[in-house]
Structure 1
Amino acid sequence: MSTTYVVVTVLGAVMAGFSAASVFFHAEWTVKPLADYGVPRAWWPWLGAAKAAGAAGLLAGLFVPVVGVLAGIGLVLYFLGAVVTVLRARWFSHVPFPLLYAAPVAASLVLGF
């Protein structure tokens, strides 16, 4: 396991964890766009939980690689779904944000192979 892989994986986990916490604590910069995109408020805790589970899975993957791969795939799919949500809401200027969160997770998956 290379140092680069560990650093990128931890970075991806921290970013996903931060994103989850911002949903759990209803940070305005996170929940206002969710409302603007039309994401039902009842979904927010589940979305935060999915990101938190993905972050924990990435960290666990440093010790059990298959868990990290599954968590990484789940997070990449989650953030691709976020891109689709942003595109459907026609907020094209917001597309880079979910991609920014997906990048270190995808890099972690690539480095893991």
Structure 2
Amino acid sequence: MFIAYAVVAVLLALALSASALFTFTRNPQITGSMAKLGVPESWFPWLATAKAAGAIGLLVGLAVPALGAAAAIGVTLYFLGALVTHLRAKDYAVAPVVVLALLAAATLVLRIASA
């Protein structure tokens, strides 16, 4: 189970790192999407920091199981919040958010199963 956790955690950490970088650097595609959803621009640094912290937590969680589980919980909650934000804005193109939320939940299950 640990190998499965490691693979899923690293893939999710890469996705989170890229998303955090694009948010920090104000990539027009990312910031435009977030603005369309009604996310205030003042939240961008905080959301990018949350994604970066989740990525770091998942990677450190390879060695520290409790931190990996906590990071997986945080990332799952982050993407559930993103899903709610999309639905409240009546934006039903939620496939990427759902996939990432499920990937985060799978990471949590695998982290617990491999401990």
TM-score range, shorter chain: over 0.9
Deviations 1:39-68 (A, max 9, x none): 000000000000100100000100101001
Which residue of structure 2 lines up, in the alignment, with residue 96 of structure 1?
Answer: 95
Q: Does 2:72 align with 1:72?
A: yes
Distance 2:102 2:13 in 1: 11
TM-score (norm 2): 0.91
Q: Which runs of 5 or more structure 2 residues have no equivalent in the other structure?
A: none
Please report how far the alpha carbon of residue 84 of structure 1 lies from its aligned counterpart in structure 2 after TM superposition.
0.4
Please report how far the alpha carbon of residue 100 of structure 1 lies from its aligned counterpart in structure 2 after TM superposition.
2.2
Please report how far the alpha carbon of residue 88 of structure 1 lies from its aligned counterpart in structure 2 after TM superposition.
0.6
Which residue of structure 1 lines up, in the alignment, with residue 29 of structure 2?
Answer: 29
RMSD: 1.2
Kept in 2: contact 1:37–1:86 (CA 8 A): yes
Task: Report the 3-state secondary structure (helix = DSSP H, G, I; strand = E; otherwise coil) of the residue aligned with 1:108.
Answer: helix
Kept in 2: contact 1:11–1:104 (CA 8 A): no
TM-score (norm 1): 0.93
> Superposed, which structure 2 residues align to 1:1-113 within 5 Å?
2-93=2-93, 95-112=94-111, 113=113
- What letter matches 2:104 in structure 1? V
Distance 1:107 1:29 in 2: 27
Q: Which runs of 5 or more structure 1 residues have no equivalent in the other structure?
A: none
Q: Which runs of 4+ in 1 moved over 4 A?
A: none
